[in-house]
Amino acid sequence: MCGIVGVIGAADAAPRIIEGLKRLEYRGYDSAGLATLVNGGFDLRRAAGKLSGLEELVNHRPVSGALGIGHTRWATHGVPNESNAHPHATERVAVVHNGIIENFRILRDELAAEGHEFATDTDTEVVPQLIHFFLKTGLTPAEATARALKRLEGAFALGIIFAGEHDVLIGARRGAPLAVGHGEGEMFLASDAMALAPFTRRVSYLEEGDWVVLKHNGATVCDAEDRVVEREIKLTEHDGEAVGKENYRHFMHKEIHEQPAVIGDTLNAYVNPTSGAISLPDLPFALEDVSRVSITACGTSYYAGLVARYWIESLAGVPVEIDVSSEFRYRMPPIAEGGVALFISQSGETADTLAALHFAKEKGQHIVAVVNVPESTMAREADIVLPTRAGPEIGVASTKAFTTQLVTLACFSLALARAKGALSAAREAELSHALAEVPARAADVLAHDERIRGLAEALTNA
Ligand code: GLU
């Protein structure tokens, strides 16, 4: 799933959309596009390939308009070329979409039978066509969107604008995150709050099934049953600074070198520096009563979970079950109520892990989330969050997010072991002092690594 940015502002939207999309570039994508509203009609720019291609196109053929939507696409239906790039538009509706519309074939057939013509190979195109269909029956943009949403199946986030409607930008969230940015007389929409940082720090997060109508001066959020609901506005930790590589060769190189600092930051959250005692945030259950722990995660986070299993079992003597998130629900595990289910995710948005979390919640488990993004969906839905303090991780292969997960899980294991009476205070202090040494040791290893790299480069150039 890729990036969505929407702007209903006071200045030209296109440069701001591109600026927002740049902050989502790390997700990987194959094409990009934007649409603005100019004199009531859509002005579209789309390009296959990198965002710089779209930027060049916009420099070459500038686009005005203070209301607009933009997208970076990771093709699931239809090859990554210009005509399949989002936004997709009819004369009256333009849409950007992350995710998949599962029932697009049925909808496409129905709409084709009504005379609608399709120009792309995407699943997405049914969305503007369907909304257009409802607009033709005399519904307002909000009413037509609400009707269309009820027909869509799948996991997705949407950004929608309407011809002739300079004060309406609609967003919808189902299974894919969407955040609303609250500016001064301007409003923003993005699939990741990081994209909103250049414009505002005041952000609210849509919940599952929500959809939102943005106007210049505010937002009205409705839930899946179309009831108006309030979603709290929070101040994000993201700052407006561009996420840069500094002097490093690439993001992953920079992130590897950030490890001593972020491991230290993460430890500070859990370890008392003088006594060495570990403290977790207030828990809604007693640690000493925990008789088993289930861990669920994907990819690198799953590997962190595998390591944690050793620690929890050997230090605390508590049995651990671990699953890859995508399998957890399907094996229908019998789960006794009141257990502890621990979910690990860098972004806090991993769709399979989130689905597993919902399943565990239904089964009456205490939900613990180890996540790196404090405003993420998992952080909001968990009973308790054990944050990792790695900062934004841009590199796709996880480095600092993984090591800070390990640190957090080590602290959890020690706290559990202590509560279970499996660890003396002296042994806890000994192990937590060893943990406190990790940042310095990591810095030593990295300095050594850089010396070897320097030597290798000098030899190659000699
Ligand atoms: N399924 C849509 C497409 O293939 C959206 C993919 C995405 O999330 O970028 O166009």
Give the tens place of pLDDT for each residue, 134-180: 999 999 999 999 999 999 998 899 999 999 999 999 999 987 889 99
In angstroms, what is the span from residue 158 Cα to ligand 1's centroid?
Answer: 11
Query: Which atom of ligand 1 is least distant from the CA of 1?
Result: 8
Cα 72 from Cα 50, distance rounded (Å)? 9
The three-class DSSP label of residue 225 is: coil
Q: Which ligand 1 atom is at minimum distance from the Cα of 86?
A: 10
For the cut 60, the answer to whether the pLDDT of residue 242 exceeds it is: no
Q: What would the pLDDT profile of 33-85 be if each residue is shown by its tens digit?
A: 999 999 999 999 999 999 999 999 999 999 999 999 999 998 889 999 999 99
Q: Model confidence over 107-124: pLDDT tens digits?
A: 999 999 999 999 999 999
Centroid of chain to Cα 352:
13
pLDDT at 456: 81
Query: Rounded CA gap, 59 and 221, in Å?
Result: 35
Q: Which atom of ligand 1 is nearest to the CA of 74?
A: 9
Is the confidence at residue 340, as pLDDT, over 90? yes
The Å distance, Cα 309 to ligand 1 centre, comes to 36
Q: Strand order in 384-387's β-sheet?
A: 320-324, 293-297, 340-345, 366-371, 384-387
C-alpha 182 to ligand 1 mean position (Å): 27
Atom of ligand 1 nearest to the CA of 76: 4
Q: Do the bridges between strand 41-48 and strand 31-38 make them parallel or antiparallel, or are there none, so unpaired?
A: antiparallel
Q: What are the backbone dihedrals phi and psi of residue 285, each rounded to the nearest 5 degrees, phi first?
A: -150, 160
Q: Give residue 241's Cα distance to chain centre.
A: 19
**Ligand 1-lining residues (CB < 6 angstroms):** 1-2, 73-78, 97-100, 122-124
- Residue ranges in 114-171 assigned as alpha helix (H): 126-136, 141-151
Lowest mean per-residue pLDDT among 136-140, 179-183, 206-210: 206-210
Per-residue tokens: 372: 């790196």
**What average pLDDT does the segment 391-419 reach?**
93
